[in-house]
Structure 1
Amino acid sequence: MTRKRKWGTAILSVTLAASLAACGSNSNSPANEPASNNAGSGGDSKPVTLTMWGGVPGEAGPQAVVDAWNTENPGVQVKYERFVNDDAGNLKLDTALTTNQNIDLYVTYNLPVLVKRVEAGNALDLNSYGDYNIDEKMGEDAKAWKVKDSYYGMPTKKNVSFVWLNKNALDEAGLPVPPLDWNMADLQKYAKALTKEKRYGYVMDMSAYNSIFDGTNAGSGYTKADGSSNLDDPNVKKAYETLYNMQHTDKSMLALGEQLTSKLPTDAAFLKGEAAMLGAGEFVFRSANNLKDFPHDFQIAFAMIPKVSADQSNFKYPGGLGDIISINPKSENKDKAWEFLKWYADGGMKPLAAGGRIPASKDADVGAALDTLLGGNKAGYDVKSLEEVVLGKFPTFTVTLPQQVVDARREEYEKFFTKSQSIDDTMKNTAQRHNDFVKNSK
């Protein structure tokens, strides 16, 4: 072979290799993006920045999560933006999504709100990715978050609501930590025994009101066999009456009217010793572990949200999964957002455990999350009841009622608890408003 022919063959080989490499770099499969989006592929490439919106204050864990990711992934940096998880905050997020304000990932905390975002075209169908089985990773409770039989967001944490107990107060009153299957009659007895001057036996976060009512309807159904409302279920009525008697007869519970007027922070009231029991969720850990701002010298124990009746076999407990993280379909970096989301769910979210957010993925280290949850304050908790209640497995529910019906129900029971409407009218009006909503939605 002549020298000229050898050089020609070499040049052809180099050219062919370069062409093949260029073709390979332009794959548009879900696992690959165009080369122009690959951060860190050249010395002059700038890092890709993903923006994630969530409702938890950055200092309560999210900033530590993104800092850990950013350290490990210099080519893909995540920026966390906090929105307040209320009507105004969710409207702000929806407006930002609609006007394409560079959101890559965001968190939804309510199923009806997620449905609205899916219908508006603001959530990517995660079934387009085949490398992560959400059902297998998160378990049966994940299915409650499917919309149109697809996942438009990944549930990432275990939802838990329960009763926080001042164990020192229990010991003084000679009361044991309640059994897992206690009921509202037991709650009323405990609250009455624990009430003393300047201390209520029980206070309840507004979210916990709904937990008892939804726990009943999740078991018996939100509608009857004929399709009419079941929000007037006899056990729901019994729950209303028990709470009313605790507020106005026993005076062992803060009256709802006073709670609404004073806007009392119930977690602070409990930690100050102004209440011996608190119905709330895992979010209280943020305050309970903050001994600087919420100093307290009593040990905290835990009990389940009580079912209404002792024989209520179909009661379900507030829980399931939450913190649904979606990818904005308008994002220019959807695949990179997906890689971050998988990392987050399988353990990256561990710093959030300090505020009570326990990872849902079977591949996350729950033991490590529990250590993070307790921090240096393990002695401040009755660990046995914490493990049984916070990490236990129970029949749970995810609220499926449309937000308009949830709001209507609250308006009606507020009238009852503030003595402006009878129990019978409350039940009748609640069911009627539910029926009217269903009729008008057809």
Structure 2
Amino acid sequence: MTKRMWTGLAASGLALSVLAGCGAGGGNSQQAAGGDAGKKGDVNLRLYTYGTESAYNWKKTLSAFEEKNPGIKVELVQLSEKGDTQEAMKKLDLAAASGETMDILMFSDPASYAQRIGLGMAAPLDDYIAKEGYKENEEYKVDTSLNGKVYSLPGKFNSWYVLLNKNQLDEAGLPVPKDWTWDQFAEYAKKLTKGDGASKRYGTYFHGPQGGGWTEYMKLMMENQPENADFLKADGTSNLDNPNFKKTLELRMKMEKEDKSAVPYADMISQKLNYRTQFYNQSASMILIGSWMNAELGGTDTMPLNFNLAVAPFPKNNASDPTGIAPVATDYVSVAAGSKHKDEAYKFVRWYTTEGQLVQGKNVPAWNKVKSEDVGKIIDTILSSTKNPEKVDKASLVATMTASKASQIVPTVSYQAEISKALNEEFEKMILGKQDVNATVKSSQDRVNQIIASNKK
């Protein structure tokens, strides 16, 4: 563990959690399956998650696990009522620092996951995997290994795609794209932009980067490549000399400053805009987002769908590039290092990331045993829980999800969050007019190289 990481997180008291181990429980917990925490003698597992009931179907899921595993109860500790992952991670850090009892942890992105693995918050699962006799990178579509060890198993398989307001597409005479490039995406955004002032409708909305997160929006033209799709290469060196990094910055600048077809970054920050409201309130015609949105596509109580919705694949750089390669998000589900019930916690993690995903019925699983022909059935189940599934163009959604595939996984590093923060700061200087694209690329390269050097042992 690096001195820099300890210094940054120990200030909030998080480092104490590694030493504190298990302490008295507390926090905003609820027994998801109903009733009390279980009969005397039951093993009670505490699951810390950012996932909301509406997005994760916890009551049904945890009840199914408990029915199959008598003697084990799972208590849900809800870290954000809104499903806000940044808020959830802050609360998780505070809970760890105060010594709360933890058994199962969920992380939403590689940087959050790697950072807390570096602090010793999760236990390695390699012995359990070896005993069971499978290989994690063959059993699942997402490789979660870090520094040669497996600290989590992946839950959902959420590739990114483009959500489209089909009514607005029809109005502009634009077909639903089945295969397209970034140039075509930018052209669509221009044609879909309408009006002026406060009532202006933008062609698209980019929800990042912000606060050191949502950095997917800084590498759009890198993420659709089979290899070298991230800020770092597999050997841990900088990948920012990749021409697709500069091309992404140029695309963002062109769409916001020249075409004026993207919601201004300054508005996103100052008004604290959210991608759901921008799209469902019809302020933006298209949004690039992850397929965790499948569970909400047909509308919810808080975000109704009042138009017809279609889905398109992640755009390509060139027409000749392979179709469907996109960023992939997953839930990193871990056994807490301080758990006194690691065997039972692993049993839950393994069940949840396999058949538990099918019980949950909210996402396409990362489990490889789910065949591509089953995707349509899974999506039917997912959409059926929304308010207006009939307004969703299911054919375009199934075609996009079936064609989606991840680029070669680049192992995350423990200082990933530090890199993301530095790149976010350089992007802001560019998009707010304080430096040009070339200066942004140069500063980004310099800062990332410094971070890599300072973290070398």
TM-score (norm 2): 0.77
Specify which of 29, 43, 49 is matched with residue 48 of structure 1: 43
- Cα 1:104–1:228 change in 2 (3 A) is closer
Specify which of 325, 329, 346 is matched with residue 333 of structure 2: 325
Specify which of 73, 76, 79 is matched with residue 77 of structure 1: 73
> Superposition pairs for residues 76-95 of structure 1, below 5 Å?
76-84=72-80, 86-87=85-86, 89-95=88-94
Q: CA deviation at 1:431?
A: 0.9
Equivalent in the alignment of 2:364: 358
Q: Is the 8 A contact 2:85 2:108 kept in 1?
A: no
Equivalent in the alignment of 1:394: 405
Equivalent in the alignment of 1:164: 163
CA deviations 1:7-50 (Å, max 9, x no partner) are: xxxxxxxxxxxxxxxxxxxxxxxxxxxxxxxxxxxxx8532211
Equivalent in the alignment of 1:274: 283
Q: Where does structure 1 differ by over 6 angstroms across 4 or more consecutive aligned residues? A: 224-228
Partners in 1 of 2:126 and 2:203 — Cα distance? 48
Q: Does 2:350 align with 1:342?
A: yes
Q: Could you say what secondary structure the match of 2:334 adopts?
A: strand
Q: CA deviation at 1:386?
A: 0.6
Q: Is the 8 A contact 2:42 2:73 kept in 1?
A: yes
Q: CA deviation at 1:352?
A: 4.5
Q: CA deviation at 1:209?
A: 0.9
Partners in 2 of 1:324 and 1:275 — Cα distance? 31
Larger radius of gyration between Structure 1 and Structure 2: 1
Q: CA deviation at 1:327?
A: 0.8
Q: Which moved more, 1:166-175 or 1:92-101?
A: 92-101
Q: Is the 8 A contact 1:229 1:431 kept in 2?
A: yes
Residue identity matched to 1:153: S
Q: Which moved more, 1:231-240 or 1:195-204?
A: 231-240
Equivalent in the alignment of 1:188: 186
Q: CA deviation at 1:77?
A: 0.9
Equivalent in the alignment of 2:60: 64
Residue identity matched to 2:145: K
Specify which of 205, 216, 227 is matched with residue 219 of structure 1: 227
Q: CA deviation at 1:101?
A: 1.9
Q: Which moved more, 1:61-70 or 1:88-97?
A: 88-97
Equivalent in the alignment of 1:126: 125
> Superposition pairs for residues 231-250 of structure 1, below 5 Å?
231-250=240-259
Q: Could you say what secondary structure the match of 2:122 adopts?
A: coil
Partners in 2 of 1:296 and 1:314 — Cα distance? 28
Q: Does 2:260 align with 1:251?
A: yes
Q: CA deviation at 1:318?
A: 0.3
Structure 2 segments unaligned to the other structure (5+ residues): 1-38, 209-213
Structure 1 segments unaligned to the other structure (5+ residues): 1-43
Equivalent in the alignment of 1:305: 314
Q: Is the 8 A contact 1:229 1:432 kept in 2?
A: no
Q: Could you say what secondary structure the match of 2:113 adopts?
A: helix
Q: CA deviation at 1:317?
A: 1.7
TM-score (norm 1): 0.79
Partners in 1 of 2:135 and 2:98 — Cα distance? 30
> Superposition pairs for residues 18-33 of structure 1, below 5 Å?
none
Q: Is the 8 A contact 1:216 1:236 kept in 2?
A: no
Specify which of 253, 257, 262 is matched with residue 271 of structure 2: 262
Equivalent in the alignment of 2:142: 142
Q: Could you say what secondary structure the match of 2:132 adopts?
A: coil
CA deviations 1:276-331 (Å, max 9, x no partner) are: 11111223345433343333332211122223344567995201x52111112332
Q: CA deviation at 1:88?
A: 5.3
Specify which of 290, 293, 303 is matched with residue 299 of structure 2: 290
- Cα 1:280–1:429 change in 2 (3 A) is same
Q: CA deviation at 1:52?
A: 0.5
CA deviations 1:210-252 (Å, max 9, x no partner) are: 3515516873464689986332432222222222122122211
- Equivalences, count: 393
Q: Which moved more, 1:92-101 or 1:197-206?
A: 92-101
Q: Could you say what secondary structure the match of 2:263 adopts?
A: coil
- Cα 1:352–1:380 change in 2 (3 A) is farther
- Cα 1:349–1:190 change in 2 (3 A) is same
Q: CA RMSD in A?
A: 3.0
